[in-house]
Amino acid sequence: MTLTGMKKHVAVLEQAGLVTTRKIGRVRTCQLGPRRLEEETAWLESYRQRWDERFDELDRVVEELTRKEKSDDSRNR
Amino acid sequence: MTAGIGSSGPVKNRTTVERKSDREVVVTRTINGPARIVFQAFTQADLLRRWWVPRSMGMTLLSCEVDARVGGKYRLVFDFDPEPVAFFGTYVEVEPYSRLAWTNEEGGEGGSVTTVTFEETGGRTLVVLQETYPSKEALDAAGTGAAEAMIETFDQLDELLVTLAESSGQ
């Protein structure tokens, strides 16, 4: 990879807040952005869990109604 | 006679979450039943109250009113200390068995809009639920409720801007 290419990659990561960089003299040091990726992941995971629990309950309700409808159907035949 | 097949119990499907943009989150899940019944479970108060608040959330639903017509309102009241909390809004799109959209107005002006689509395949229904917030900050706050996290993000942005200014100035 060229130096220019590398710079572009780092700039994208930096803009996303996933790394921070620091230049001392001629050396630019990259570090992982503090907790940023973990925060993002934790946010998504708490959101996902909330909906997952809801949808588990929804599944139960829908399955019960579907079963009931089927048995009502066969009884009415 | 099809009864009795699959005694191993229902399959649990995966729930996925994706941040589609700074202001939008999309949740998908396949539900084991036809779209008509899933739609009913979203739009009938007696059914909605059975699943919208799982026990694990540790909240008790005191009342649940739903008028799922365009312009109709919903109102869910939860038991909360020191006083009950209400979540409410207006249905803006109602297309039976395929599409629903409602506003979330409890936070005052500029609340999120929730859009749900139902797509049935082979007796199962893919539910795609999208929440659109007025701003990135509103979305971030909805996930964690932590204002501090936002301040931290701004601090990081500050740092980033300083770094970028440095690197462009040489």
Residue B55 is given by DSSP the state: G
Q: What is the dihedral of CA B144, B150, B156, B158, to 10 degrees?
A: 170
Contacts of A60 in chain B (CB under 8 A): 51
The complex's ipTM?
0.74
Please compute the mean of the pLDDT values over residues B16-21 and round it to a whole number.
90
pLDDT at position B140, please? Answer: 75
Q: Where are the domains of chain B?
A: 2-51+93-168
Q: Check CB contact of B6 with chain A, cutoff 8 Å.
A: no
- pLDDT band per the 50, 70, 90 thresholds, residue B59: confident
Percent over 70 (pLDDT), chain A: 95
Flag whether pLDDT at B132 surpasses 60: yes
Q: Check CB contact of A26 with chain B, cutoff 8 Å.
A: no
Please compute the mean of the pLDDT values over residues B128-140 and round it to a whole number.
88
Given a contact cutoff of 8 angstroms between Cβ atoms, the answer to whether B117 and B128 are in contact is: yes
Select from A46, A65, A55 the least CA-distant residue to B12.
A55
Average pLDDT over all residues of chain A: 84
Q: Do A65 and B127 touch (CB under 8 A)?
A: no
State pTM to two decimals: 0.71
pLDDT in tens, B77-103: 988 888 888 999 999 999 999 999 999
pLDDT at position B143, please? Answer: 55
Percent over 90 (pLDDT), chain B: 55
Structure tokens belonging to residue B136: 């990135």
Q: Which CATH architecture has domain B2-51+93-168?
A: 2-Layer Sandwich (3.30)
- pLDDT band per the 50, 70, 90 thresholds, residue A36: low
pLDDT at position B162, please? Answer: 62
Distance, CA of B99 to CA of B105 (rounded, Å): 20
Please compute the mean of the pLDDT values over residues B56-76 and round it to a whole number.
92
Q: Check CB contact of A41 with chain B, cutoff 8 Å.
A: no
Contacts of A42 in chain B (CB under 8 A): 144
pLDDT at position A66, please? Answer: 93
